[in-house]
Amino acid sequence: MSVLSPSRARLVFAAFLTALSAMLVNPAPASAHAVLVSSTPGGWQLLGDSPKEVSLRFTESVDVGLAGIRLIGPRGNDIAGLGAPRHPEGKQDTVSVRIPETLANGTYTVSWRVVSADTHPIQGAFTFSVREATAPASAEASATGNGVAAVLYGVARWLATAGFALLVGTAFVIAVCWPGARARRGIRRLAVVGAGTATAASVAALGLYGPYASGGSLGGIVDPAVLGATVDSRIGLGLVTRILLLGITSALLVRFLRRDETEGDLPTRQRARRGVLVLAGAGVLAATWSLVAHGAADTLAPLTVPIGLIHLAAIGVWLGGLPAIAVLLRSGDITAMRTAVPRFSTTAGICVLVVAVTGLYQGWRQVGTFSALVGTTYGWWLLGKLALVGILLGSGAIARRWVHRHYGFEVATVTEKRRAKRGPETAEVGRFRKVVVVEVALAVALLGVTATLAAAEPARAEQERLTNPPKAAAGPLSVAVPFDAGGFHGKGQVAMVLTPSKVGKNELHLAVLDPVGKPKTVPEVRAELRLAAAGIGPIPVKLVPGGPAHYVSLDVGLPMPGEWELAVVVRTSPIDQTTVRVPVNTT
């Protein structure tokens, strides 16, 4: 029952405008979801000799416990015996593996997967060549991870959050709004279901996180090595702590619910003490979510973690208390309704204000600009969450008027006493209960969106990844890029080697290959260079045949350093052609 008085509604709206203005006008930098900055060897780099190790550097620290790096040879075979991923020289933002053997000539694919500081796995792939370029093995399939584990882990996260909300909301209703609810079987069942669901889902999340983060099979759930690596990670520690806290909470809850004495309403001071106790427990439990969320990686904003746990605790009290109120309305207990409904109405209004302010702050830290809000997946999920909150506010306004009309009047005259004793008509209570049931359904959807946002790549990180991809390494360039010109036999690869890839005279070797790496004869191939930052180009590159499907240019002039673009146009039929574009970093 998300209800707001007009004054509280104005406060929420003012907070929204203030936070939104700060978000769009003065965005602050936030750190979340690591992005690959550079690698050694560099992407598309041609090496004169076999490297001793592969190293990757990210924008923030990453966890190597569940990291995986594969080196795939020119024939698609995995290079065996790679060393375990490690932080070289203690650099937490860098991961490297040792290569145990001298690599043969050809193009190699590095497929990597690590865990970001905000506990979410990130992955990618790049290629480099040793002494000569060949058709690279595909790394796309190897970097996709385990989709089943990801889905199951997401479900477990949602169930844990929903169970937490149900437990906290029901406990708060019993402690503050309706002390006599403890004697109701339906209320006791809600509390037990909430605690049990949160505990079981957290245990499942602990087992599923290893396969989810490492991209392994579901067999990792029972693999001691994978489970050990999970427990050693930050999210593993958070999950273990949460499970222990939920175990203690469940034991105390069972003891409390088994007490035989019945109680009516309690003095205000005693209800306040109980409410503070419930909120304190909710805050401690919420910390096990907040400490492993996106905000935990935001080192520039120390308030992000406490604001995150306050946000989750307020959601728990507000949305988790709705089912208990629905049970009350179904009971027909007029005395209890007159006491509990207005109290929860006031509590829900305060929680809505807290959720609005803290939620907008979190959105500001993870989004920051209007373009990120409407141009990223995270931004659209956040807009969906705001839409659901808006619908709940509208529903709450209806509920607020109903509560004020039936329970907000002063009981002074005999008529008012009779009206208070009689309560609202059964049909009116039934209609109001339907409003609450709709709010419960919306709350379930809102918790689902909240859990999705917790697992999604933050908008800032997505924009940084899309607008600032890893640049081509300086030095000799070696790359094989697939293409699809359309039509029959329109697919293939363009393999390019540019040496020394420096300012001045360069040599370009270009081969057109079919999808399996064999020479592919096409009607036309042409190339050109551009330096967009300086407005230079296009500069045509004169190609001469050098063999079957092989083209050579011995005098490719690069007049100045910068991030050049080499564009190769491949025509596979009179009407089908495509353009392959490759960055060339010159020094």
Hey, what CATH topology would domain 477-586 get? Immunoglobulin-like (2.60.40)
pLDDT number for residue 8: 45
pLDDT number for residue 16: 39
CA distance 110 to 130: 13
Instruction: Give the dihedral of Cα atoms 210, 214, 216, 219; nearest 10 deg.
Output: -20
Q: Mean pLDDT of all residues in the chain?
A: 78
pLDDT number for residue 535: 78
Domain locations along the chain: 36-144, 477-586
Instruction: Give the C-alpha distances (Å, rounded to integers) separating 309 from 286, 356, 460, 519.
Output: 5, 14, 22, 60
Report the percentage of the chain scoring pLDDT > 70. 79
pLDDT number for residue 246: 93
Across residues 364-392, what is the average pLDDT?
A: 78
Instruction: Give the C-alpha distances (Å, rounded to integers) separating 133 from 74, 224, 360, 576, 585.
Output: 9, 41, 50, 26, 18
Structure confidence at residue 417 as a pLDDT band (50, 70, 90): low
Q: How many helices (H) and strands (E) does the chain have?
A: 13, 16
Taken in order 226, 232, 236, 241, the sign of the CA dihedral is: positive
Hey, what CATH topology would domain 36-144 get? Immunoglobulin-like (2.60.40)
| pTM of structure | 0.66
Nearest 5°: the CA angle 317, 347, 186 is 55
Under 8 Å between Cβ of 309 and 287: yes
Dihedrals phi, psi of 346, to nearest 5 degrees = -65, -45
Q: pLDDT for 208-244, tens place per residue?
A: 988 888 777 787 787 888 888 888 887 888 899 999 9
Is 18's pLDDT higher than 60? no
96-110, 186-200, 240-254, 533-547: which has the minimum mean pLDDT?
533-547
Which of 562, 567, 573, 525 has its CA nearest to residue 546?
525
User: Which ranges in 423-509 belong to alpha helices (H)?
Assistant: 426-455, 459-467
Count of other CB atoms within 10 angstroms of residue 86: 16
